[in-house]
A and B are shown apart, each in its own frame.
Chain A
Amino acid sequence: MKKIVLSALIAGLSPCLSHAQSSVTLYGDIGGGVRWVNGQKGGSAVMFNNNILTVNRFGLYGKEDLGNGLAAVFKLENAFNSGTGALKSAGVLFSQAAFVGLSGSFGRLTFGRQVSASEYFATLVDPTGGQAQSLAIQPNALYFFNYFTNDTRFNNTISYIGHAGGFRFGASYSPGGVAGDLRSGTNVSGTAMYQWGPALGGFGYQKTWNATATQWAQTFHTGGSLQLGPARLYMSYADFSVSGATEGQPTRRDHIPSIGVMVVATPELQFTAAAYYDSARHLANAQDGSGHKVTTFAIAEYYLSKRTELYAEVDYNGFSGAYRTDALNVAGLGMRSGASSTTGVTLGLMTRF
């Protein structure tokens, strides 16, 4: 983490402003390695590992104290492919975050491209922190994201996060901006959680409408975590549904329980493992679209320093019924349509700055 403190510069340029403390921090992470995976079109493949554990990114975080505990904050965060140098999302420079806001004793109010309140909660009860690159180890991206744009961040979002004692709560709203229609392209989301000693529990909710307000996707999510010795256990349950796009189509419904654990075995060595089970009915809103999906993974991280690590990871995704041909999973995992499983093994190196 490099700190570029601009306070002296700003003070020099604008002597009329009182002692406002200002800072901008540049941060990020980049990783790469090798990945072997089977169940692909044409069999198994050895490929470049575009840092599966977390998005390759760089970001700028800024804060200016405005007095009385109030501060202006902003965040710009990019994501890129370490193998090619290309943007992760074509044409979107700050795909991970681009927001500005105020933070103070009232909480934090931010405007811009960011996570929904429900995603905010989901990342806190996820053993990997909700930032993994691949569906292979981040299956929950598919039921906390914007179902209609396949985007894990929400554009044009107004978000509030409050904090009182061990209690935290938040709400976010992404207006659609369509005249005469308050539903088109909107997302409404809320969360509340409570932390008491080693335990955390809470819930999140979100509802997203498509651009023409003919279809919605909704997630109810509850979960928590518990610290036991050098480990933190995670548990969560999500109920995801998508209404039929046309009259007569059934509502898709998924029940998704998951468990996970992160163990800090020694200061250098850290293990993470998790399992997600998804029981779905009416995938793609088809009458016969029932199927199951199981995702499991285990990660070992060895830290050469506080910032640099070597990692090894193994993941398994199994599918049955209509899930074997689910378009998003087939595309996201590069699978052969109809394959019943895919297994991957990754070795990598990552450094953070």
Chain B
Amino acid sequence: MKISTRIPCIAVVAMLAALSDYASAQPAAAEAAPSSATGTKAAASDAKAARAANRKLAHRVENALARTRGLNSARIIVTVRDGHVTLSGAVNYNEQIPFAVEAARKVEGVIDVENRIRVSGASL
């Protein structure tokens, strides 16, 4: 059993590595935005503030989805960049997708919603 338990670890580590790559790519893009007049320190704190705002809005969207009737958002992934919301992940059946997009659109501070939700899993 010793050998076999290593396989999941490798798989999970690989996934986490992919994840951290993505996470580090985000601030780089955000930092590029401020003009050269502001110092790197200010740029860094701006990027930090932007990230916090993104996180906060994502949280609000997630809560809105969790409260939407006719939708089960347990497997949806919400990502936000400056008010632009992307919905990915999965729902268990396709009639739920419009509910998710509509609910996310209605959240204050959301500029637009890109729908990348896929259908997978058992019919509930």
Contacts and interface: CB of A to CB of B under 8 A. Distances in A.
B51 to A, nearest CB: 11
Interface string A286-304: 0000001010111000010
B119 A352 contact: yes
Interface in A294-353: 294, 296-298, 303, 306, 316, 318, 320, 341, 352
Contacts of A115: 122, 124
B113 to A, nearest CB: 14
A130 to B, nearest CB: 5
Given A120-B124, A131-B120, A259-B8, A320 B15 contact: no
A120 B123 CA distance: 9
Contact of B89 (A27, A123, A232, A265): A232
Interface residues of B, number: 47
Give chain A's interface residue range (CB within 8 Å of chain B).
35 or more
Interface string A32-66: 00000000000000000000011000010101000
Contacts, number: 155
Contacts of A320: 1
Nearest to A350: B120
Interface in B62-94: 62-63, 66-67, 69-70, 72-75, 77-79, 88-90, 92-94
Contacts of B8: 259, 273-275, 294, 296
A180 interface: no
A263 B19 contact: yes
B59 interface: yes
Given A123-B124, A230-B88, A275-B12, A296 B7 contact: yes
B67 A263 contact: no
Contact of A263 (B15, B59, B123): B15
B124 A197 contact: no
- Tell me the dominant secondary structure on chain A's binding face: strand
A165 B67 contact: yes
A121 to B, nearest CB: 9
Contacts of B120: 53-54, 128-129, 131
B15 A271 contact: yes
A352 B92 CA distance: 13
A60 to B, nearest CB: 11
Contacts of A232: 75, 77, 89
Contacts of B63: 166, 195-197
Interface of A: 1, 25, 27, 29, 53-54, 59, 61, 63, 75, 77, 96-97, 103, 105, 114-115, 119-120, 123-126, 128-131, 161, 163, 165-166, 168, 193, 195-198, 200, 225, 227-232, 259, 261-265, 267, 270-271, 273-275, 277, 292, 294, 296-298, 303, 306, 316, 318, 320, 341, 352
10 contacts: A103-B70, A115-B122, A123-B124, A193-B74, A227-B77, A229-B26, A230-B79, A262-B77, A274-B8, A274-B11
- 4 nearest CB pairs, A to B: A129-B121, A275-B8, A318-B4, A195-B66
